[in-house]
């Protein structure tokens, strides 16, 4: 068996034991422990398994490129007419903040760390005000300062300066707690007002600057998709992780690639139902079902989105694969949880979608829709089967096809109601 040994071990064994030096003894000992000693073999296998587990765990931790400071900062000069090759050597620029704003905190370094400390200083006049004003605009459609991206001299003046100051101070005093601030806004009597417009309110406060009525604003595209998945009972609320690629019409990526060979490989399983904030975003071909609802292309920072109303939006919520599948699963949920009568099921659907039961008008209209669709699918089973096949999520097999298809169309109509798409 000597010929099967590694050459270095074979060379040592050819010598007499008395001639072995310390290094040769260590080589023999290491080989014996790792290759021949039974307990050593068992320990080596355990160590290898632990090392593999450690490597797998480290691979799950997301990494990101960061920027660091050089040990000694370089001098920065005023540039003649802004040209990088024409510095004015006797005009050195020192790190700092604009002169009209407060100075850096005492002891703060004149670098990015000091800048961060300056931004979140409790007495900073802008950070907290800008932040709470943006949250306010998300719920009311307009900020206390209407120009939410401009608090300078060219921006609009606040409609309620004392309220803005109070919200900002409360935000800082409670540890910059975003969730608490949002709850404060949503629990206020101002937010909970009805959005009805009377003739008097129209005359005295046409743009609702004085907050004489509650807000009424269409949801953002991401929220509309997430709301549909939530009502369907399939929203994957996992936090963090890589981006996902949900349903998308075919060949969109092909059209924007140079040779037409760039293909969109859709994900499957639970990844299809992750929250919209995790959707993979290709700037040259953004997600169509979100773009229809004014999602920005992300080529630049957009502080305030425009809000449009187009027929394409209804085509998305009625025909997009994600929404048709969500309608089917919402219908399954309605049938399963809503009782045995049409009225109880419709009330359950409305409570889930709008937080109130259906009124008489909606009951009458949707009853006609449901009955008419039921007759259509009963007369043409293939049509109903085709509708129920949309999407990857498996359908319930213990429900009649015609009934489920009719409720799918009814659920789609509920999705498309004004009160489902606005808040």
Retrieve residue 170's tokens. Answer: 């409360």
Distance, in Å, from the CA atom of 134 to the CA atom of 195, rounded to the nearest integer, reads 21
Confidence band for 304, pLDDT divided at 50, 70 and 90: confident
Estimate the crossing angle of helix 381-388 against helix 360-379, to 10 degrees: 110
Q: What percent of the chain has pLDDT over 90?
A: 50
Looking at every residue in the chain, the average pLDDT score rounds to 89
- Mean of pLDDT values over 327-351: 94
Strands 87-93, 76-79: pairing is antiparallel
At residue 211, the pLDDT reads 87
CB 43 within 8 A of CB 51: no
pLDDT at residue 3, rounded to an integer: 54
More confident residue, 168 or 250: 168
Span 165-205, pLDDT tens digits: 999 999 999 999 999 999 999 999 999 988 888 888 889 88
**Does residue 1 carry a pLDDT above 70?**
no
- What is the DSSP-derived secondary structure letter of residue 218? B
Q: What is the mean pLDDT of residues 359-381?
A: 94
- What are the start-end ranges of the H helices in 152-303? 161-173, 178-186, 199-204, 221-232, 252-256, 288-291
Query: Residue written as tokens 């997009």?
Result: 320
Label residue 214 by pLDDT band (50, 70, 90).
confident
316: part of which helix (H) or strand (E)?
Answer: helix 311-319
What pLDDT, on a 0 to 100 scale, did the predictor assign at position 36?
77
Percent of the chain with pLDDT over 70: 99
Predicted confidence (pLDDT) at residue 67 exceeds the cutoff of 50: yes
Q: Which of 271, 276, 240, 298 is nearest to 392 (CA)?
A: 271
pLDDT of 320 over the 90 cut: yes
With cut-offs at 50, 70 and 90, classify the pLDDT of residue 231: very high
Q: Give dist(CA 183, CA 287) in Å, integer.
A: 31
pLDDT at 350: 95
Task: Select the more confidently predicted residue: 129 or 22.
Answer: 129
The predicted pLDDT at position 2 comes to 45
Residue 274 phi, psi (nearest 5): -75, 160
> What token pair was written down for 17?
């034991």
Least confident piece of the model among 105-109, 122-126, 238-242, 254-258: 254-258
CA–CA dist 234, 238 (Å, integer):
12
């Amino acid at each position: 068996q000597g010929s099967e040994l590694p050459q270095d071990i074979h060379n040592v064994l050819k010598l007499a034991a008395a001639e072995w030096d310390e290094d040769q003894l260590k080589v023999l000992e290491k080989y014996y422990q790792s290759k021949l000693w039974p307990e050593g073999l068992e320990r080596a296998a355990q160590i290898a398994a632990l090392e593999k587990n450690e490597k797998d765990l480290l691979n799950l931790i997301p990494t990101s490129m960061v920027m660091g400071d050089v040990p000694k900062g370089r001098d920065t000069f005023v540039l003649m007419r802004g040209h990088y090759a024409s510095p004015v050597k006797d005009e050195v620029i020192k790190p700092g903040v604009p002169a009209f704003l407060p100075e850096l905190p005492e002891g703060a370094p004149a670098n990015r760390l000091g800048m961060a400390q300056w931004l979140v200083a409790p007495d900073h006049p802008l950070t907290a005000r800008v932040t709470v004003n943006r949250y306010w605009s998300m719920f009311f459609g307009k900020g206390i300062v209407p120009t939410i991206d401009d608090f300078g001299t060219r921006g609009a003046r606040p409609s309620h300066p004392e309220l803005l100051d109070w919200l900002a101070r409360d935000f800082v005093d409670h540890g910059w707690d975003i969730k608490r601030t949002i709850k404060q806004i949503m629990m206020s009597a101002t937010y909970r007002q009805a959005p009805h417009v009377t003739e008097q309110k129209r005359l005295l406060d046409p743009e609702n600057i004085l907050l004489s009525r509650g807000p009424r604003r269409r949801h953002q595209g991401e929220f509309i998709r997430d709301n549909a998945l939530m009502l369907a009972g399939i929203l994957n609320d996992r936090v963090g992780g890589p981006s996902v690629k949900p349903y998308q019409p075919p060949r969109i990526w092909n059209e924007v690639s140079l040779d037409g060979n760039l293909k969109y490989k859709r994900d499957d399983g639970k990844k299809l139902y992750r929250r919209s904030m995790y959707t993979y975003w290709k700037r040259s071909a953004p997600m169509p079902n979100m773009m229809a609802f004014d999602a920005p292309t992300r080529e630049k920072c957009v502080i305030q989105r425009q809000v449009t109303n187009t027929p394409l939006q209804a085509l998305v919520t009625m025909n997009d694969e994600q929404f048709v599948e969500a309608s089917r699963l919402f219908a399954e949920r309605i049938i399963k949880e809503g009782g045995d009568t049409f009225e109880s099921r419709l009330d359950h659907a409305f409570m889930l979608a709008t937080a109130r039961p259906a009124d008489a008008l909606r009951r009458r209209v949707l009853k006609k829709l449901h009955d008419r669709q039921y007759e259509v699918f009963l007369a043409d089973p293939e049509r109903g089967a085709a509708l129920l096949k949309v999407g990857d999520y498996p359908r319930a097999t213990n429900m009649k096809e015609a009934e489920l298809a009719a409720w799918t169309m009814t659920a789609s109509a509920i999705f498309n109601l004004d009160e489902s798409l606005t808040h």
